[in-house]
Amino acid sequence: MKVIVKILVVAASLWVATQVVDGITVDSSDTTKQIGTLLAVALIFGIINTLLKPIIKVVGCAFYVVTLGLFALVVNAGLLYLTSWIADQIDLPFHVAGFWAAFWGAIIIGIISWLLDLILGVND
């Protein structure tokens, strides 16, 4: 049950990012298709984070220490950009246009996800 709620939380965060950040788009005029796309992208983003983020943390441990954790913002942007690339490969209408859109989108997604997790108690 927690996994489903987490996917919904990330999908909602992605939707906020599409509304706030220029360069992050869901190219669908149909609301049902937009919701389906956001749910699929949230699932892809979750899988990427689960598989790659621990490896990146171990390999890039020195960068995390030297930058006092700010390197995590770059990593999160890269993972969001990778999610966009994968979505494009499977013909999902989700697109992140460049590093800065991914950077600000990752910050927005992180903040909104954290707030929704806090409110819903997903990580309890």
**How does pLDDT run across 7-46, given as a tens digit for each residue?**
999 999 999 999 999 999 999 888 899 999 999 999 999 9
In whole angstroms, give the CA distance from residue 101 to residue 78. Answer: 11
The closest alpha carbon to 23, from 83, 79, 85, 102, belongs to: 102
The DSSP output letter for 113 is H
95 strand-pairing partners? 25
Q: Name the token pair of 124.
A: 């309890």
Instruction: Give the tens place of pLDDT for each residue, 78-123.
Output: 999 999 999 999 999 999 999 999 999 999 999 998 898 888 876 6
The closest alpha carbon to 10, from 37, 50, 35, 39, belongs to: 39
| Residue whose pair of structure tokens reads 């246009």 in the numeric block | 97
94 strand-pairing partners? 26
